[in-house]
Structure 1
Amino acid sequence: MGQSGKEQCCSSLTKHEDRLSMLTDDILLSILGRVDTATATRTSVLSKRWRDLPWLLPVLNLRVWNFLPHPCPEPIGAHHMDQAMSRLTKATRSFLADPNSKSTIIKRLSLQLYVTGDYTREIGPLARDAIDCGVVKKLCLAIVDEKDPRDCEHEYMLQQALAVDGFFTAYPSVFQCLTKLCLYNVRFAEWDMQHLLFDSCKQLNQLSLSHCDVGDSSVWQINAPDSKLRILEVRMSCLKRIEVLCPPKLKHLCWDEWFCFEAPLRFGSVPSLKGLGLICGATIDHQEFSLSQVLHGTRNIHALTLDFEGERLWIQPEGKQLCHAFKQLRKLSICGIFVDFDLLWTINLLEAAPSVEIFSVRIWDHACQDDEQLRTRTGYEAQRTKPSWSMPKFTSSETWQLRELEIVGFRPQELQISFLRSVMERASNLKMVLLKEDKEPCDACDSMNTPRGGFCPANKGEQEAIVKQLTDGVGSSARIIFPNSGGS
């Protein structure tokens, strides 16, 4: 670049910086609040105007994952974890050291760390002092781990639990303002999980447990009438069952993958529960269970997601039995339906839930997981069992409130066409039918380029042919929309 070009570039940068400098602190802080703290900190070297801004952020996100090298190695080794924790400790010290001199209140501190080395012995006191001084009002804590759950032995998970318990024991101030807690690979077999999570953490309103339990095939009872817990997320757990007896403010519960082979949940009194998600790819050993029995005790569920991850259904055929639990249901999502499966069985659920306004179906079309030898070796059936549900034997006396029907992963095949026509015939209030491509295909699945049922129609002619198939002889005024292509 010549001298003239350099001068133009510098002039452009100066003008750009001047425009930013004209903004007020609250606007600049709003901009910085949209990036991770590591990035926000680096902006302090831009100019004197930016020097102190990161230290005025009312929401502080100190996450060890932001201090890992880029691109991130796979798998993440102990050396990189140690380096990231060293950098995180330095950043925490920079923001929280001498909290008495800090003029800005941190409304929420998100702290994510590994329990490796001695770093928590420095981070812990920094967080404690900031909490004790009233500088930090709310704390979101994530104690993460990079070890694959399949490689986590019993002793390793106990060590993780010991480290977590040790951190809380050493710095009890953490309990005072802990509102969100995320744990990984922890086995509370020798600790009182109820006392630690609910009796001690009185402000806790969100709990996320990834591969955590109280022992293989154990039952975890949640009986916490004074708890403020609103969101509970469980992922890849060896718990036999969670008995949700009394968390009065619990609004949303999601369980992603259970390894025991029976119904994973039992409810007691959950008056506030409005959202429930159950996600699991059933192996040959998973038993079907009664969804109505699982939902017994619930009465206000508004949104229900069932995700079968392309495997057989793990719920028993039901219809009328579900009416009570589905009385308040507004949104129903049935995900992970293998592409060759009939969809008409889902009408049983719609008949039991005439109050549903939005019904979403997501098709599973991943041929990369069809290797029969691999499926048998990993515990999955070589052949997926098609749904044994018949068309509903009862018809609801109430008018369906369904106004929006969506299929993600739509294929112009007879199974899906007949299902759509059946719903359109029954749903007199239906306003729109959305037929979408799956925009998040499996990275390992080359066959997504040639899906089993054909491509989602892309051009106007193909779309008009589908619309004609769906509407001929069907008295429905619903608009049929192909959102991914912008046509209808």
Structure 2
Amino acid sequence: MTSTVQSLLLSSMEQNNKPQDEDRLGALTDDILLSILGSVDLATAARTSALSTRWRSLPWLLPDLNLHVRDFLPAPCPDYPVAAGQQIYFYSQIPAQHIDEAMASLTRAARSFLRIKGSSRVSRTSLEIYLIGNYSHDIGPLVRDAIDNGMIKELDLTIADDKDYDCKGGDMLRKARDVDGFFSAYPNILPCLTRLQLYNLRFAEGDIHNVLFDCCKQLQHLSLEHCDVGDCSVWQVDAPNSVLRVLEVRYSYLKRLEVLCLPKLELLSWEAWMHCEPPLHFGYVPSLKELFLVCGADLEHSGFSLSQLLDGATEIHTLTLNFQGEKLWILPESKQLRAAFSNLRKLSIHGIYVEFDLLWTINLLEAAPSVEIFDIEVFEHPCLVLYWERVGIQRVKPSWKVAGFTSCNKWKLRELHVTNFSPLMEQHMLFVREVMDRAPNLKTVILKEDDEPCKDCEAMDALPNLVGGLFPRTKNEQETIAQQLRDNMVGSSSVKIIFKSIVSTVVF
């Protein structure tokens, strides 16, 4: 979408050099043109001011001001990743010279937009910067003054970093001091923050709580990547007046995060914890509706009780567990989970290694009769096989006992999703049949091919044969599988079976 709009704008620039041609874009109303400019980065939008007198002031009338360092890079760079867990690699792979040039260009843009812009038009400001050189001393006063004069009321701030997860403790402490110094120099920024993303920081526990919860009165979305308060530390959050709705933690050496009180918290995501015990403890979280736990645990992770971890968080309606192809880091449970699962509507179990049995997941489903969508994702990445062999990783199959499942008339399950479905794996077929046979309200089974192919797998010179075989793409294959799933099934003839591949969607 963005590239298409940019092409149109460039075409309009070319037309501007030919007086005989009609500027069709320029004939549109301001509202439409501002909508178009709002879909491209600020650097591109600013360039359009050279089109004509009609366009000259339009970029300065945009209601949203997005000053992102990535948009000012002097050379082409990889696409900014959608997956939040990959953004730290994006920031760290930019050459130091390009960072410096981008920050210089961003500073000039900030000086132009923040000094000229009419405050009545601004609804949201997003700022993405590196704290390098003296740029923070140039941008800081501009943001401070824009807040003081009412131009900026809500600020989305990302402080990027030039290192990835290899950043060591000493560097993390220094970076935390730099961030603290920036906020101390311009204290009116903190109360204005609505979203904050930080990377590679090690705070003192009192400092992080004071900055993030006592000073940030409007903060609604907090993302901490490779941040902690020390190795094996416990971070306690007790913020009854906080309005924080989203908390994301990735790749942290925290031993545990104890959310004692966050009354407005709606979504919590924790990706990649380093210790073997439960990474979370909940106190008062009455608004928590969505929980995402993602970790590729190694053999040293002994596992923990999911029911104990969820104690105190009984309002969750969306739960995602992702094992990233490694061992299961939850202990076998079923009935013990009923209290925690009492309000669950969507249950997603992702990253299940392709050779693992899938029937064990029905233990979780039986503990959650209110679930309407059951989402299973199988994990098979040939690009990781050599790494697993090199470090000696061995897959540990689920130890859950598969009891004789019973049909439950109270099940509300309407949809079953299976991503990376492999018909050659007998266990996949058996799993789908078991769910179809026991879910009286089931309406749809969606068998999917992963729509985001792994670039590392695709880059392999000789891609090994997949254990589960290729996803069925021909209509004949799909029809045969659909018939096999329905064979001898009672009451399952009305269930739609949908095959979603990269190239098509077919319904049986």
Name the CA distance, whole Å, in 2 between partners of 1:14 and 1:250.
56
User: What is the TM-score of this pair, normalised by structure 2?
Assistant: 0.89
Q: Secondary structure at the match of 1:467?
A: helix
- Residues 377 and 164 from structure 1, CA distance in 2 versus in 1: closer, same or farther, beyond 3 angstroms? farther
Partner of 1:422: 434
Give the paired residue count. 473
Q: 2:103 aligns with which of 59, 64, 85?
A: 85
8 Å CA contact 1:354–1:398 kept in 2: the answer is: no
Q: Offset of 1:376 from its aligned partner?
A: 6.6
8 Å CA contact 1:43–1:51 kept in 2: the answer is: yes
In the alignment, structure 1 residue 440 sits paired with structure 2 residue 431? no
Alpha-carbon RMSD: 2.0
Amino acid at match of 1:44: S
Q: Offset of 1:189 from its aligned partner?
A: 2.9
In the alignment, structure 1 residue 481 sits paired with structure 2 residue 498? yes
8 Å CA contact 2:382–2:464 kept in 1: the answer is: no
Name the CA distance, whole Å, in 1 between partners of 2:266 and 2:342.
17
Q: Secondary structure at the match of 1:353?
A: coil
Amino acid at match of 1:338: Y
- Residues 30 and 341 from structure 1, CA distance in 2 versus in 1: closer, same or farther, beyond 3 angstroms? same
- Residues 448 and 377 from structure 1, CA distance in 2 versus in 1: closer, same or farther, beyond 3 angstroms? closer
Q: Offset of 1:230 from its aligned partner?
A: 0.2
Partner of 1:4: none
Name the CA distance, whole Å, in 2 between partners of 1:139 and 1:11.
36
Q: Offset of 1:382 from its aligned partner?
A: 2.1
8 Å CA contact 2:376–2:419 kept in 1: the answer is: yes
Q: After superposition, what is the alpha-carbon deviation per residue over 1:180-225, rounded to whole angstroms, capped at 9, x for unaligned?
A: 0100000003752111100000110100000000001111111000
Q: After superposition, what is the alpha-carbon deviation per residue over 1:228-287, rounded to whole angstroms, capped at 9, x for unaligned?
A: 000000111111000011000000000011112211000001000000000000112222
Partner of 1:120: 136
Partner of 1:55: 60
8 Å CA contact 1:319–1:394 kept in 2: the answer is: no
Partner of 1:34: 39
Give ranges in structure 2 of 5+ residues lacking alignment: 1-13, 79-91
Q: Offset of 1:449 from its aligned partner?
A: 7.2
Q: After superposition, what is the alpha-carbon deviation per residue over 1:418-443, rounded to whole angstroms, capped at 9, x for unaligned?
A: 00000000111111111111122221
- Residues 392 and 54 from structure 1, CA distance in 2 versus in 1: closer, same or farther, beyond 3 angstroms? farther
Partner of 1:229: 244
Q: 1:24 aligns with which of 24, 29, 52?
A: 29
Name the CA distance, whole Å, in 2 between partners of 1:15 and 1:318.
75
Q: 1:354 aligns with which of 369, 378, 381?
A: 369
Moved more, 293-302 or 78-87: 78-87
User: What is the TM-score of this pair, normalised by structure 1?
Assistant: 0.93
Q: Secondary structure at the match of 1:62?
A: strand
Partner of 1:105: 121
Partner of 1:431: 443
Q: Offset of 1:21 from its aligned partner?
A: 2.1
Moved more, 201-210 or 431-440: 431-440
Partner of 1:329: 344
- Residues 27 and 10 from structure 1, CA distance in 2 versus in 1: closer, same or farther, beyond 3 angstroms? closer
Name the CA distance, whole Å, in 2 between partners of 1:428 and 1:42.
59
Partner of 2:416: 405
> What pairs up with 1:229-378 in 2 under 5 angstroms?
229-371=244-386, 374-375=387-388
Name the CA distance, whole Å, in 1 between partners of 2:257 and 2:21.
56
Question: Alignment identity in percent?
Answer: 58
> What pairs up with 1:441-456 in 2 under 5 angstroms?
441-445=453-457, 446=460, 450-456=465-471
8 Å CA contact 2:357–2:427 kept in 1: the answer is: yes
Moved more, 242-251 or 140-149: 140-149
Q: 1:218 aligns with which of 233, 236, 240?
A: 233
Q: Secondary structure at the match of 2:506?
A: coil
- Residues 26 and 448 from structure 1, CA distance in 2 versus in 1: closer, same or farther, beyond 3 angstroms? farther
Q: Secondary structure at the match of 2:417?
A: strand
Q: 1:388 aligns with which of 391, 399, 405?
A: 399
Moved more, 242-251 or 430-439: 430-439
Moved more, 10-19 or 240-249: 10-19
Name the CA distance, whole Å, in 1 between partners of 2:403 and 2:262.
35
Amino acid at match of 1:460: K
Q: Offset of 1:175 from its aligned partner?
A: 1.7
Name the CA distance, whole Å, in 1 between partners of 2:73 and 2:23.
33
Partner of 2:211: 196
Q: Offset of 1:167 from its aligned partner?
A: 0.7
- Residues 396 and 93 from structure 1, CA distance in 2 versus in 1: closer, same or farther, beyond 3 angstroms? farther
8 Å CA contact 1:56–1:104 kept in 2: the answer is: no
Q: Offset of 1:392 from its aligned partner?
A: 4.2
> What pairs up with 1:147-166 in 2 under 5 angstroms?
147-150=163-166, 152-166=167-181
Q: Offset of 1:43 from its aligned partner?
A: 1.8
8 Å CA contact 1:140–1:179 kept in 2: the answer is: yes
> What pairs up with 1:159-198 in 2 under 5 angstroms?
159-189=174-204, 192-198=207-213
